[in-house]
Amino acid sequence: MDQINQIQTMIAAAASDKKAQDIVILDMDKVSLVADYFVICSANSTTQVKAISDNIEEKLSEQGIHALRREGYREGRWVLLDYGYCIAHIFIEEDRRFYNLERLWGDAKSHTYEK
């Protein structure tokens, strides 16, 4: 498995470890220059959003992979972790419904992550 695929799978697994809900992986390769993959998930509270974000960063850091940037952590409603090829979006549920990235990027192939 190449590193790009490992990153999106590791992000999804780390999110799942902290009980993230509705984990979806979007294959952005053909629809955007921003990243090859988006991993999108939901949480029930800002505390859980932060716990999911922290776990993703910790698990990838253990593999020597560090986020290029992190946004939204202080508010904890939508945290974006940019790993270059893959961007993680951790949402509080109501914000995920509002922004609806899956619809916005509807041309991207998607699949639900199942551990």
Give the start-to-end residue ranges of the domains of the chain: 3-112
CA distances for 38 relative to 67, 105, 108, angstroms: 14, 10, 10
Calculate mean pLDDT across residues 47-74.
Answer: 97
Average pLDDT value for the chain: 92
Question: Range with the lowest mean pLDDT among 7-21, 53-67, 99-113?
Answer: 99-113
Strand order in the sheet with 109-112: 69-71, 78-82, 86-92, 37-43, 21-27, 109-112
Portion of the chain with pLDDT greater than 70, in percent: 96
- Fold classification of 3-112 is Beta Polymerase; domain 2 (3.30.460)
pTM to 2 decimal places: 0.92
Q: 58: part of which helix (H) or strand (E)? A: helix 46-61
